[in-house]
């Protein structure tokens, strides 16, 4: 994922979008945290024409246990 990519995501701010529960709609990636901890997308409501932004956590995948023997998680495709 890169800044400017168009994703198909279901918005969580249903009340402010005016969409209700419609399903995934196109959203443009506008920010990605440098360590890949979260990303921000911008939606455009097809009903009202207003833009709004939401932050999402990337999908996590289990990683091998650390030196203490505890499992930890890392974002899929994260650089760190």
- How many Cα atoms sit within 13 Å of 9 on the Cβ side? 23
The pLDDT assigned to 12 comes to 80
The pLDDT assigned to 11 comes to 83
Classify burial at 17, counting beta carbons within 10 Å of its beta carbon; exposed 0-12, middle 13-18, buried 19 or more. Answer: buried
**And the tokens for 13?**
């701010």
Give the C-alpha separation, 20 to 12, whole Å: 10
The pLDDT assigned to 54 comes to 93
Give whole-number Cα distances, 27 to 7, 13, 22, 45, in Å: 5, 13, 14, 10
* Ranges of each domain in the chain: 6-75
pLDDT per residue of the chain (80 residues) written in tens, 0 to 9: 899 999 998 888 765 555 566 678 899 999 999 988 899 999 988 778 888 899 998 887 666 666 666 656 666 655 54
């Amino acid at each position: 994922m890169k800044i400017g990519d168009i994703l198909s995501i279901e918005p969580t701010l249903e009340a402010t979008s005016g969409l209700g529960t419609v399903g995934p709609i196109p959203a443009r990636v506008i920010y990605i945290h440098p360590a890949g901890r979260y990303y921000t997308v911008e939606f455009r409501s097809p009903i009202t024409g207003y833009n709004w932004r939401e932050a999402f956590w990337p999908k996590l995948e289990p990683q091998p246990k650390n030196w203490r023997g505890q499992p930890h998680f890392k974002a899929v495709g994260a650089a760190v």
